[in-house]
Structure formats: structure tokens, C-alpha cells
């Protein structure tokens, strides 16, 4: 038996937070009865949301996409912009694991496996993500130290990060910086630079966990193989998700 909001998220219907909202709004029924947050159920129970019966996906699909710029990391967009899901040729209802900004390129996973997606997106999963940022201005060694030790964004300090100054173009007054972080706060990299007075002009994610962009040009994608899926599960399975 598990909490109903966790079961809904594991079905891949939505995030756990969204499930809690639906439960509060009395839109979730288990075996015909409206239930409250925390209700314990199992996969055998009949779960309905807004009158629709939840059906477990029979087969999971996993993709690694090198996201192009100007695509939305979402399943649909209110302004009809292209989404990362539009790029993948499948009839299955997949969704992105986390987000990259509209103008950020790089690696993003997509799947219909709600359990793995939620484990990977959970703050405790500590998945390393490596970004390369092109910023306006000459980044100094002192700035790199600050980024490494953590900077304040929205009054909360970021965790320690691995940061390398890759290149400085003194003529153009730009710098290329590589950062590895395991948090996934909104616009985190851009805000980290903003907090020390730099603007990110270009951002790309070159690594996600053990995945790299090797063999994947921007806009290309591939399926994960079963071994990669099980290694991902092993990375996150012992993390607490309650």
C-alpha cells in the first residue's frame, strides 16, 4: 500500500505535487469514493481522476534528447510553441524529466515511466548535471571560487559545485564556464551567474548523470537501452521520495 499521491505520480499522470492539488480539489476517487491526501491504496484499486480511470502504461519508453534552442520542456504549450515531446516520434504519452529553459540546449530525458521520472526529479536524487555557459564579461578566478562555494539565489545558498573556467575572450569580453551541479532549481545556472553580476548568453547541458552528448547532435535523440535504464534506477532507488 502506498500513499495515493505517490501512486498517481508513479502512473505518470502528473507530479506528486499536482496530484496533491487534485486530491485537495476532490477530483480523485478510489473505488468510487472521494479520498483525502495520504489515503493508502494499491495498484489494484480503481483510481479515477476527473472521472477518468487511471490505466497503467503497459510498456515504458525512454529517450535521451539533445534539445535544440527554442523548444519548450513540456508536453504542450499554451502559446503553441514546439515542445521537446513534438520532436520524438512516438505515439506514447511521454514527458520530459525536469526542464531546460526555452533557449537552453542539451541533454534531457523523456519517458512515460512516472516512477523513474519522479525519482530522478526528486531533490534528494543528487543527479549531476554539467552545463557550459557562455557569459558576457571576464569571469575571474575569484568569481569561480564563489560559484564553487555556493551563491545566494532567492535568499537560499546553492550547494557546492564543480566549476571550471574554460576560456576567456578578452577582445569580445566573454567567458566560457563549465559547471556541475546536482540541484535543479528554476533557471539555476542563469541565476547563479546573475548573483555575481554576469549574464548568461548561451547555455547547454553537456552531461546528465552518466549521459553525454557524444553521438547526439543538437535536435537528435536516441532510445535508452535496458542497461542504461537499470543503471539510472540504481542511481536513485535508495533515495527517499516521501
**Can you give the binding site for ligand URA, defined by CB under 6 A?**
100-101, 104, 187-190, 203
Minimum separation from the CB atom of position 38 to ligand URA (A): 33
In the complex, the smallest distance separating the C-beta of residue 161 from ligand URA, rounded to whole angstroms, is: 12
Residue among 29 and 187 whose Cβ is closer to ligand URA: 187
Q: Which is nearer to ligand URA, 4 or 189 (CB)?
A: 189
Closest separation between CB of residue 199 and ligand URA, Å? 11
Within the chain, residue ranges assigned H as helices are 4-10, 16-24, 84-87, 114-121, 141-149, 188-195, 226-236
- 15 or 188, CB closer to ligand URA? 188
3-state class (DSSP) for residue 45:
coil
Q: Give the DSSP letter of residue 59.
A: S
Which three three-digit cell numbers place residue 169? Answer: 575572450
- For this structure, is 101 an active site residue? yes
DSSP-derived secondary structure letter, 159? P
CB neighbours of 141 closer than 8 A, spacing ≥ 6? Answer: 165
Select which of 36, 77, 86, 101 is catalytic.
Answer: 101
Positions annotated as catalytic residues are: 101
Amino acid at each position: 500500500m502506498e500513499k495515493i499521491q505517490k501512486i498517481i505520480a508513479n502512473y505518470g499522470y502528473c507530479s506528486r505535487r499536482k496530484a496533491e492539488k487534485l486530491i485537495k480539489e476532490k477530483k480523485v476517487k478510489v473505488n468510487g469514493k472521494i479520498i483525502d491526501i495520504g489515503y493508502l491504496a494499491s495498484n489494484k484499486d480503481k483510481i479515477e481522476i476527473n472521472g477518468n480511470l487511471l490505466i497503467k502504461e503497459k510498456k515504458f519508453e525512454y529517450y535521451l534528447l539533445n534539445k535544440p534552442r527554442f523548444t519548450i520542456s513540456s508536453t504542450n504549450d499554451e502559446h503553441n510553441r514546439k515542445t521537446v515531446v513534438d520532436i520524438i516520434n512516438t505515439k506514447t504519452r511521454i514527458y520530459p524529466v525536469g526542464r531546460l529553459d526555452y533557449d537552453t540546449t542539451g541533454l534531457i530525458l523523456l519517458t512515460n515511466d512516472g516512477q523513474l521520472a519522479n525519482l530522478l526529479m526528486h531533490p534528494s536524487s543528487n543527479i549531476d548535471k554539467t552545463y557550459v555557459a557562455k557569459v558576457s564579461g571576464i569571469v575571474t578566478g575569484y568569481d569561480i571560487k564563489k560559484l564553487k562555494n555556493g551563491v545566494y539565489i532567492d535568499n537560499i545558498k546553492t550547494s557546492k559545485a564543480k566549476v571550471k573556467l574554460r576560456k576567456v575572450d578578452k577582445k569580445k569580453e566573454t567567458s566560457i564556464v563549465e559547471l556541475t551541479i546536482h540541484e535543479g532549481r528554476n533557471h539555476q545556472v542563469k541565476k547563479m551567474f546573475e548573483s555575481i553580476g554576469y549574464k548568461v548568453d548561451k547555455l547547454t547541458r553537456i552531461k546528465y548523470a552518466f549521459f553525454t552528448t557524444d553521438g547526439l547532435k543538437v535536435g537528435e535523440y536516441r532510445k535508452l537501452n535496458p542497461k542504461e535504464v537499470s543503471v539510472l534506477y540504481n542511481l536513485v532507488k535508495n533515495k527517499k521520495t516521501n
